[in-house]
Structure 1
Amino acid sequence: MLVLVLCVTGIEDAVADKSARGVAAARHGVVPHTAVRPHIVPRSVWAVGGEANSTARTPPPPHYDDKVLAVFVHHTDSPNDYDCADAPRIIRYLAAGQTGARDWDDIGYNFLVDRCGTIYEGRAGGVDRPVTGAHTLGFNHRTAGIAALGTFTAGAAVPRAMTDAIAALTAWKLGLAGIDPRTTVRLTSSNSLSRYTAGTTAELPALAAHGDAYMTTCPGAALKALLPEMRERAARLQGRK
């Protein structure tokens, strides 16, 4: 049985080039609103043996955007009472469903977070890069998708470790483009099956619910209700007032 180190609460030291950017910005009187990168478990932990699953496939070369301007939060509609040691198995199951039954080329979410606050790399392409995902129809470009493992409809308990991890991941990912998690951004729909016809430019929260852009109740009423708190937490992690 795979043994994992779970319930990660710390964050890694900022990388050297981030510090260099901060020094350069300070010389010009600009305060860089970035955040340190949280610990992210690589996809090799759940995609055992590369893509070892009877229905999985080796993903094609990833597609990239120029930057990530917004983050969409999802839930996976899976049980909430799992042992966190089983999170890799659950992610493999989700990936198999998306690449098998749905015939997608890879898991759609860029990241997944379990109830212990452990962050997992999802879609291949590099966590530091603006990988184009398949998580929010019409708005996959210039965004990242974060999936909370579980079902968070009205009345469900949302673990604090999970929301803290989502906030930390959001702060870092949006900070790479200098985006305040509390603001709104302008995104252009690429699919008329979203809430906006193709070609429409919509103003959406930088930290948004899946349902803000697509006709769905995802990520569930309980998790959606905590988004304002997560936006504030992410902004503080970026050093914003």
Structure 2
Amino acid sequence: MPRVAVVVLGCVPGVVAATVLALFAVGVERDGGGQAVREVAARPAARIAPRPDILPRSAWLGPGAVPARAAPRYDDKVVAVFVHHTDSPNGYDCADSPRIIRSLSAGQTGGRDWDDIGYNFLVDRCGTIYEGRAGGVDRPVTGAHTQGFNHRTAGIAAIGTFTAGAEVPRAMTDAIAAVAAWKLSLGNTDPRTHVRLVSSNSRSRYTAGTPVLLPALAGHNDGYMTTCPGAALTAHLPQIRQTAARLQGRATP
């Protein structure tokens, strides 16, 4: 558990007391072996980032599309996001993104027999953000994107393949940062920190029941044995975290 400095505030004026709390409420996260991982400041107040434009499911659901086959499930909040790539061609016209998402959905609901598309959000090369899994973009919908770590997280998929050497459009990384900043801000999570998650499936990188510290804005491969989201997109994650933090109004460390 984080260690918290205790101060006596009974005689401190309200504004000063708030400042003291912000300065002194500091904890140290530790890994499973008790080793200090990083210092994490207490979060005194939520920093709600602007909600970006998100096209609803109706923008890609069309003739032949498979609707959600079960009621959505929810967690209490979202404390982390996982970034993916869809492992599909890159040279598409953005006007064709709805058809691509329908195809991805059909592969997951048909070929894998899932209840719905697994990703909570999808972003195309032009920076357009689409609602993926049903249940409401502003709610903590349980996705099916990162085996072992679908609870209290959201999945953001970049449409395309971003292995080593691939170009990652700036519009795409900006959109990923925008939706991650907004979604994480609803749970008052700084995208530059680490958060404690518990694996629910031993097929992940960690045995079921194992608590682990993972980046609040993580790549798929942080939680699962995969090369997703690809080396090229993974290289952009540090800057995406910084952009997301700026959108939340957080100072650069």
- Confirm whether residue 35 of structure 1 aligns to residue 49 of structure 2: yes
- Confirm whether residue 66 of structure 1 aligns to residue 80 of structure 2: no
1:197 to 186, 203, 207: 207
Q: Residue 53 of structure 1: CA displacement? A: 1.8
Judge conservation of contact 1:71–1:146 (CA < 8 Å) in 2: yes
Provide the secondary structure at the position in 2 that maps to 1:41.
Answer: coil
Counterpart AA for 2:86: T
Provide the secondary structure at the position in 1 that maps to 2:135.
Answer: coil
Provide the secondary structure at the position in 1 that maps to 2:205.
Answer: coil
C-alpha offsets along residues 66-125 of structure 1, whole Å, 9 cap, x if unaligned? 000000000000000000000000000000000001000100000000000000000000
Corresponding residue of 2:61: 47
- Confirm whether residue 207 of structure 1 aligns to residue 221 of structure 2: no
Q: Work out which of the two has the higher radius of gyration on C-alpha atoms and give 1 or 2.
A: 2
Judge conservation of contact 1:73–1:147 (CA < 8 Å) in 2: yes
- What percentage of aligned pairs have identical amino acids? 74
Change (3 A) 1:31 1:186: closer
Find runs of 4+ consecutive structure 1 residues off by over 3 angstroms: 28-32
Corresponding residue of 1:183: 193
Structure 1 CA distance for aligned equivalents of residues 166 and 60 of structure 2: 26
Judge conservation of contact 1:70–1:206 (CA < 8 Å) in 2: yes
Q: Residue 31 of structure 1: CA displacement? A: 5.2
- Confirm whether residue 131 of structure 1 aligns to residue 122 of structure 2: no
Counterpart AA for 2:209: G
C-alpha offsets along residues 187-215 of structure 1, whole Å, 9 cap, x if unaligned? 00000000000000010000000000000
Counterpart AA for 2:109: T
Corresponding residue of 2:110: 100
Q: How many residues align?
A: 210
* TM-score, L = length of structure 1: 0.85
Structure 2 CA distance for aligned equivalents of residues 59 and 38 of structure 1: 28
C-alpha offsets along residues 157-207 of structure 1, whole Å, 9 cap, x if unaligned? 000000000000010000001000000000000000000000000100000
Q: Residue 33 of structure 1: CA displacement? A: 1.6
RMSD, matched Cα: 1.1
Corresponding residue of 1:120: 130
Structure 1 CA distance for aligned equivalents of residues 185 and 69 of structure 2: 28
Provide the secondary structure at the position in 2 that maps to 1:178.
Answer: coil
Structure 2 CA distance for aligned equivalents of residues 32 and 76 of structure 1: 32
* TM-score, L = length of structure 2: 0.81
Structure 1 CA distance for aligned equivalents of residues 132 and 194 of structure 2: 25
1:232 to 230, 233, 242: 242
Which structure 1 residue ranges, 5 or more long, are not aligned?
Answer: 1-27
- Confirm whether residue 220 of structure 1 aligns to residue 230 of structure 2: yes
